[in-house]
Amino acid sequence: MNRTIAIPIFLLIIFLMVVYGLVPKYNQFSRLDASIDLKEKQFSQAQKDLIVLEQAVEALNNNQESWDKIDTALPEDFSLASLLYYLDEQAGVNGLIMESIGQDDSSSQGARSKARLSEKETPTGIEESILSVNLIGAVSSLESFLRNIEKSSRLIRVESINTSETEDGLLRFGLSLKVSHY
């Protein structure tokens, strides 16, 4: 009888050890395994994202010429001297004589605008300066001048053009130019 009672008790103890010892460890192992799978998926997604970002950086670096044009178009430190030199050079190349250049008085803003060009700051931080340029020459020369300004990387917009005739038979052009810069 001892044997008949000992075997079921022994089997019951083994069963309880399996239920209370191994099953929780198996559940913990299953949770850790699922956590590892999730981490591996996150890691592979992060690697894919990193590859995409590296390709984007490479594409941006390959377009350095475009970035240089943007830097020229919107320089951080606006230089009036370089702009005036550019306009004078373009006028000369196209057969025009630059008679005068200055601030557009119709948009002056008190003492500040008298000392510098008329400037208006937009919400994006880009400032707009308005210049008044007087040129003398032929219409075809003005067309070439305007084409060259349009093709340049600088953000120059012609606001208005006034014409009058000089005593020499040439035309005098009064241009109002809006220049965007930071």
The whole-angstrom distance between residue 141's C-alpha and the CA centroid of its chain comes to 35
pLDDT of residue 118: 46
Given 62, 85, 110, which residue is the final one in a domain? 62
Integer Cα distance of 180 and 182 in angstroms:
7
Summarize pLDDT for 2-20 with one digit per residue, the tens. Answer: 778 888 888 888 888 888 8
Number of domains comprising the chain: 2
Please indicate whether residue 20 or residue 48 has the higher confidence score (pLDDT). 48
Lowest mean pLDDT among 68-72, 158-162, 177-181: 68-72
164 with 78, same domain? yes
pLDDT of residue 74: 65
36 with 95, same domain? no
93 with 140, same domain? yes
176: CB partners within 8 A, 6+ apart:
104, 130, 131, 132, 133, 158, 159, 160, 161
Answer whether residue 69 is part of any domain.
no
Integer Cα distance of 87 and 145 in angstroms:
9
136 with 56, same domain? no
41, 126, 137 from 168: Cα distances, Å: 80, 41, 10
Given a cut of 80, whether residue 57 has pLDDT beyond it is yes
Answer whether residue 51 is part of any domain.
yes
pLDDT of residue 54: 94
Domain containing 106: what range?
74-181
Summarize pLDDT for 133-174 with one digit per residue, the tens. Answer: 999 998 899 999 999 888 887 778 889 999 998 888 889 999
83 with 155, same domain? yes
Given 62, 88, 107, which residue is the final one in a domain? 62
106 with 172, same domain? yes
Query: pTM of the entire structure?
Result: 0.53
